[in-house]
Structure 1
Amino acid sequence: MTQGSLRDAGRYEPDSPYAWLRLVLALVVGTVACVGSWSVVVVLPAMQGEFDTLRSGATLPYTCAMLGFGAGNVVMGRIADRYGIMVPIVVGGLLLAAGYTAAGLSHSLWQFAAAHGLLIGIGSAAGFSPLISDLSHWFRRHRGLAVVCGASGSYLAGVVWPQVINWGLAHHGWRVTHFGIAVTALVIMLSLAPFFRRQPTAATLASADVHSAGVRGDLGLSANQLQALLCVAGFACCVAMAMPQVHIVAYCGDLGYGVARGAEMLSLMMLLGIVSRVGSGFVADRIGGTATLLIGSLMQGVALFLYLWFDGLSSLYIVSALFGLFQGGIVPMYAVIIREYLPARQAGMRIGLVMSFTVLGMAAGGYLSGVIFDYFSSYRMAFLNGLAWNLVNLAIACWLILRTRQQSEQRVQVAGR
């Protein structure tokens, strides 16, 4: 190997300055791409009036976007495993541009929902699990921190885009706002895509596969068994998570505070969610992904409980802030756990599959909360429904912790004989 190739190998090693630069640009891409998760939340009240539908009907475009996002996480994750992350970024930019253009031209709820399900949702997926799985290959010592920072693009989108879209609705209307999003996504994502052409080396992937096989044996579960458990946990936590995230704008409107206050609470929730995600990365690098998941799940349940007792304007700001601060690190922990225990060469597909279940949970939770509201004319039962699902997630996290301890104790007993 020549000196030049040795220098290149060192330059592109895990945890190198190049890896951190890649993380920064991935955060930009994720923030732009994940607009699809938030735009429909902000325009939900306008869509309900525009298409003359019930609250559950108005949440249909969000549900379709989440279904497309879930499918896109699996498909684009698989593409990233095979061809690298640049291809999903390019495809995602094109799909978002087409989707927001089609949404801006829609004249019925079904057209608007189809644009979100078939184009926007799938395009937004390019900025989530494929980026997370790609970043996980470029970090070793700081993998937990890198994964949660990459995943924070979706929350940073929740900070930036609701305010931008709210301004666009007030000054230009929802159609022109959607056209503006189309142009922005196309220009930024296609401009940054060439930077991501480089892929991790075969030696890096092989070393990671050996490590994951060893720790998975310590856990005592097969790869598919652990995958299934994480899918169920991801679905459950996000059914719970969807209630405040999807309905906080409409909830504030119903209470008489106005949708602008709800949009501010959503942005505050997402801003503190970023703090939570970054903090959970530091914690995960020290105590592991499973223990960090357990802490996040417990605290999310506490925040949901608080929503049942406080509905004043000031108290809603505080509870929404706490909710964002408590739950932000939950979803990225599934990616951290997968990289700890499952094959690195399948990271894109496996992370994408779990993330698709989290998205399905968001879709189901958002729609189910709307149905519950229509039936009871109140969000109280919807919050209780979220709490019940959160307990399912908490139970799985506890079981994984106990399973690990039991296996460790058994190994010690066998070694002592």
Structure 2
Amino acid sequence: MSFSELSDKITLIRSQATTPETSSLSDTSTVIDSDVNFKSDIRSVPCGEDLPPDGGLQAWLVLLGSFLNLFSTFGIVNSYGVFQQHYTTTLLPNSSASIISLIGSLQLALLYGMSPLIGRIFDAYGGSILLPLGSFVTVLSLIMLSFCKANNAYQFFLCQGIFFGLGNALVFPPALAVVGHWFKRRRAYAIGIAASGSALGGVIYPIMLQELIPKIGFSWAVRVTALITLACLCVSCLTMRTRLPLSRRMSFRDCMDFEGFKDWRYALSALGAFLAFYALFIPYFYIEQYALFEGVSPELAKYLLPIINAMGIPSRILPGLFADKIGPLNVLTPSMVISGLFVLILWLLSRGAVAVTMFASLYGLFSGAFVSLLPSYIATITPVEKFGARLGSIYLVVAVANLVGTPTAGAFIRTVNQHDFNSLIVFTGVLVLSGSLAFGCVRTIHSPHLRARV
């Protein structure tokens, strides 16, 4: 390539980087679509080509940083079932299950609800401030949590629900978005690896906490968690880099785009996402409590949440590979149907250790597909330049569902008995199946033929 041709390419990229039509989650759009349209940056790294290298030391270091980021943030969110059980029995015994669940749901609501805004800031100014600030808030919130006093629910709300949720929200969009700078041909595979960090964190942290709490107490167990989280986030801040220049432009109007609701496919997808996320995390919060009620030994019950998360590792990678071949909706919808049926049949009828463990394994295996495939499907029905804003609108709906979902479920557990648990399980299964019905309607709108790639 001649110097003049190279100069022309650099000029073209710079001109594209200054266009205002960037959206908060346009980073995520590059996970599926183009790279040149991806405007965000953390710090500029010299690169000889304007196309993603799809490998190399720097690319894999970026992927490592994203993996550790999600491992140490979303992984703790996925571990909330351990906190739920400990708060119910020890630290907040006078608070209802619904109130305790609200602490965990606040984390999810902030994480998804703030993604459009944080993503847009990341587009314009990069992550040189977002990542260190989010890491600091995340670790500080855990240290503050370790000093919370029993029967003071407001302290747990502030430290774990709000501050920890805010810290996660600051680092979550950059962690997913930056991978798209470095991978194109193997992008789905790379994103699956990064996303599996949250599932692996949901395996390691619960086991660690449940081993440490009886030995050194809740406070020191949380401080150990904070130390591990600090180490992971430090590596993440040092390794995450992007390849394209900053746009240095920001418009809050680009954060969300409600025009998509004029499309029936998009509107029904938003409805399906609301219904599914309303119930998706209920088993994560209540599986250990249910197992103990059914007589499962505490030694096994404490591993049920890690089992759900462990099965979520392949369910975040493999569905993406299948979706590339047969279409995201053709994988997402059956996965949701199967998850709902497992809840209504297997969980509802499970009364012993074998049945409860089988449900935890199968639910984790199939439910994880929905989290990873929803953005992929939205990308297929959205113009590239509007993908970030459209996904931001979906995530706002998801945030509301996460905020009210598990507290609503907790309202069913007035007293710990079989009838109340059955009501919670039926509520969960019906909502998941209702969400799958909405996506089934979307699938029919695309094509009534079963072999169509959607």
- Report if TM-score (shorter chain) is over 0.5: yes
Q: Is the 8 A contact 1:148 1:280 kept in 2?
A: no
2:91 corresponds to which residue? 50
Structure-2 residue corresponding to 1:270: 309
1:9-408 equivalence runs, <5 A: 9-10=48-49, 13=52, 15-17=54-56, 18-48=58-88, 49-51=90-92, 52-107=94-149, 108-126=152-170, 128-200=172-244, 222=260, 225=263, 228-305=267-344, 306-344=346-384, 350-374=390-414, 377=417, 378-405=420-447
Instruction: Calculate the aligned-residue CA RMSD, in Å.
Output: 3.0
Deviation at 1:343, TM superposition (A): 4.8
Number of residue-to-residue matches in the alignment: 390
350-359 vs 371-380, which moves further: 350-359
**CA displacement at 1:361 relative to structure 2:** 2.9
What is the alpha-carbon distance in structure 1 between the residues aligned to residue 106 and residue 364 of structure 2?
24
Determine what percentage of the aligned residue pairs are the same residue: 21
Q: Deviations over 1:64-93 (max 9, x none)?
A: 222322333333222222233554332221
**Structure 2 residues not aligned, in runs of 5+:** 10-45, 247-258, 450-454
- Looking at structure 2, the residues matched to 365 and 346 of structure 1 have their Cα atoms a distance apart, in angstroms, of 29
Q: Deviations over 1:165-201 (max 9, x none)?
A: 1122122211122222223323321332133232447
Deviates more, 1:49-58 or 1:299-308: 49-58
Q: Judge conservation of contact 2:111–2:168 (CA < 8 Å) in 1.
A: yes
- Decide whether the 8 Å contact of 1:297 with 1:327 is kept in 2: yes
CA distance in 2, matches of 1:123, 1:224: 34
Aligned partners of 2:358, 2:170: CA distance in 1, in Å?
33
Aligned in 2, Cα 1:128/1:104: closer, same or farther, shift over 3 Å? same
Given residue 190 of structure 2, which amino acid in structure 1 is its aligned partner? A
Task: Identify which range, 51-60 or 246-255, moves more after superposition.
Answer: 51-60
Q: Structure 1 residues 235-244 or 79-88, which shifts more?
A: 79-88
Mark the CA change 1:148 to 1:126 in structure 2 (over 3 Å): closer, same or farther.
farther
Take 2:368 and 2:105, find their aligned partners in 1: how far apart are those partners? 21
Q: Which residue of 2 aligns with 1:210?
A: none
CA-to-partner distance for each residue in 1:247-286, whole Å, 9 max, x for gaps?
Answer: 0111122223255433311111111111111110111111
> TM-score, normalised on structure 2?
0.77
Aligned residue type for 1:50: L
Give the residue type in structure 1 aligned to 2:354.
S
The structural deviation recorded for 1:401 is: 1.7
Q: For 1:405 and 1:201, how far apart are their aligned partners in 2? A: 41
Q: Residue type matched to 1:151 in 2?
A: A
Give the deviation of 1:156 after TM superposition.
1.5
Displacement of 1:4 in angstroms is 9.8
- Bigger shift: 138-147 or 344-353? 344-353
Bigger shift: 8-17 or 365-374? Answer: 8-17
Output the amino acid matched with 1:193: C
Counterpart CA distance in 1 for 2:101 and 2:414 is 12
Structure having the higher helix fraction is 1
User: Would the aligned equivalents of 2:319 and 2:369 in 1 still touch at CA under 8 Å?
Assistant: yes
DSSP-derived class of the 2:240 partner: helix
In 2: Cα distance, 1:85 partner to 1:291 partner: 35
Q: Which runs of 5+ in 1 are unaligned?
A: 203-220, 408-417
**TM-score, normalisation: structure 1:** 0.83
Query: For 1:110-160, what per-residue CA distance to the aligned partner results, in whole angstroms no more than 9, with x for missing partners?
Result: 111121232111222345444233334543333333333322222111111
Asked if structure 1 preserves the Cα contact closer than 8 Å seen for 2:80 and 2:285, the reply is no
* Distance across 2 between alignment mates of 1:123 and 1:353: 21
- Give SS of 1:8's match: coil
Pair 197,137 (structure 1): closer, same or farther in 2 beyond 3 Å: closer
Aligned to 1:373, what secondary structure does the other structure show? coil
SS in 1 for 2:48: helix
Amino acid at match of 2:272: A
Q: Deviations over 1:263-322 (max 9, x none)?
A: 311111111111111110111111222222112212211221211112211111111101
CA contact (8 A) 1:284 1:292 kept: yes
